[in-house]
């Protein structure tokens, strides 16, 4: 596996490649990331992974400085998974001049849900992803469904900029108790880790109730938020949306998604469950 750190090295390594599969990451890799690499291998070759902690998507007071950086271990895992090339630039390489140009996603995606609590986050995500797409020139790119809102932002980015890239979504991998795998899970203390899967259980309970015929979705989300708060969580949101648009679902919405973001101590966890709505299939 080749490891490069500059745009020039990356372009030299990928010269003439027309079937590249790309997995962008911020590093500190876990089994969920490896599943995305495996998925990428099914769709293109060579498989390229990037490792870059992007300052543009972190707000004031967020965890940019303490976000785990484990490049050597990450490269070992990627090599074992069959990745062909790792692009691991530093901030100066990605932003050699102040990034005064930025991609601004539509407000309906950028300022809702996580965007309402992390102003500018999705602009930072979209800007760095567009830069990475320009550098790697992939035919396909793989993103995880755990960051569901991010996935929709990237799909819309590709659509509106007419990029010749297929976006492939990888399913969320979970720990044995249901907790979605995340690099930030290591921030959790021992007792917090035992409690962390409650978020997934509350979302699953909403899905079960909707599929059983419950129509008051707003009340279901409010009840889930109340349960989390009673257990000591600080809830940003619990919401049920159309899975294709992230807008409020209509009666004809075939695919829906219930999403949640909440703080357990100093750790912000996000999760979601996508599901078919029973009424839409009748």
Task: State the catalytic residues.
Answer: 33
Q: State the alpha helices, DSSP H only, in 95-197.
A: 107-110, 114-117, 121-136, 148-160, 190-195
Under 8 Å between Cβ of 186 and 265 = no
Q: What is the DSSP letter of 172?
A: P
Distance, C-alpha 75 to centroid of its chain = 20
- The CA distances from residue 43 to 40, 46, 82, 139, 169, in Å, are 5, 10, 13, 9, 12
- The CA distances from residue 26 to 64, 191, 206, in Å, are 11, 27, 31
- The CA distances from residue 11 to 6, 167, 249, in Å, are 9, 21, 43
User: Distance between CA atoms of 122 and 144, rounded to whole angstroms?
Assistant: 15
User: Distance between CA atoms of 123 and 156, rounded to whole angstroms?
Assistant: 12
User: Distance between CA atoms of 204 and 258, rounded to whole angstroms?
Assistant: 9
User: Distance between CA atoms of 157 and 45, rounded to whole angstroms?
Assistant: 23
| Two structure tokens written together for 233 | 């969580």
């Amino acid at each position: 596996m080749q490891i490069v750190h500059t745009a020039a090295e990356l372009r030299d390594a990928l010269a003439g490649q027309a079937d590249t599969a790309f997995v962008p990451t911020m590093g500190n890799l876990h089994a969920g990331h490896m599943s995305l690499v495996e998925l990428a291998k099914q769709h293109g070759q060579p498989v390229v992974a990037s490792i870059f902690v992007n300052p543009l998507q972190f707000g004031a007071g967020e965890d940019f400085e303490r976000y785990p950086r484990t490049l050597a271990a990450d490269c070992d895992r990627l090599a074992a998974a069959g990745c062909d090339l790792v692009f691991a630039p530093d901030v100066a390489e990605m932003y050699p001049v102040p990034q005064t140009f930025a991609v601004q996603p539509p407000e309906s995606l950028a300022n809702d849900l996580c965007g309402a609590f992390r102003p500018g986050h999705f602009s930072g995500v979209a800007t760095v992803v567009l830069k990475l797409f320009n550098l790697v020139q992939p035919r396909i790119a793989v993103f995880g469904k755990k960051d569901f809102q991010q996935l929709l932002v990237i799909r819309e980015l590709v659509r509106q900029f007419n990029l010749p890239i297929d976006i492939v979504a990888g399913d969320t991998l979970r720990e044995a108790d249901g907790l979605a795998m995340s690099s930030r899970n290591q921030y959790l203390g021992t007792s917090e880790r035992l409690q962390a899967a409650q978020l997934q259980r509350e979302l699953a309970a909403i899905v079960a109730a909707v599929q059983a015929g419950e129509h008051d979705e707003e009340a279901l989300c409010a009840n889930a938020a109340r349960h989390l708060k009673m257990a000591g969580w600080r809830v940003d949101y619990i919401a049920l949306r159309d899975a294709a648009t992230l807008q409020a679902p209509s009666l004809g919405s075939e695919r829906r998604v219930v999403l949640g973001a909440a703080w357990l101590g100093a750790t912000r966890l996000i999760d979601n469950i996508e599901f078919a709505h029973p009424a839409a299939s009748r």
